[in-house]
Amino acid sequence: MVQLSPWPLLCLAGYALAGMGMAPVMPVLLSRAGSRPDISPQRATTAIATLGYAGLLIVPPSIGWLAQWYGLPAALLLPLLLTLLLMAGSLLLRGPGRTRKC
């Protein structure tokens, strides 16, 4: 929980690492959505892009509202919770037969 750190540089480094880890999410989502056989690539890409932009419009004001009521450290748990939700959804929606090889 880097946002609870008393050192600002540690917070910045933690968020920079988190940003680098989440940067490939949108391109991968667009690629996976476009390769689904049950929906056209145009519709799938449009749906994913719409959800992405909706998140950009909804999440920052939500963090501000939560920070007003519960404080900034608690409000910054929202991106963490949304990331965990994204991870759980990706595990649930994996295609059959996809196993990770080490």
pLDDT tens by residue, 51-95: 888 888 998 999 999 999 999 888 888 888 888 887 787 777 666
- Buried b or exposed e, range 58-96, using 16+ CB within 10 angstroms: eeeeebeebeeeeeeeebbebbeeeeeeeeeeeeeeeee
Residue with tokens 């519709």: 43
SS (HEC) of 39-69:
CCHHHHHHHHHHHHHHHHHHHHHHHHHHHHH
Pairwise CA distance, residues 74 & 69, whole Å:
9
Average pLDDT for the chain: 81
According to the model, what pLDDT value does residue 100 have? 56
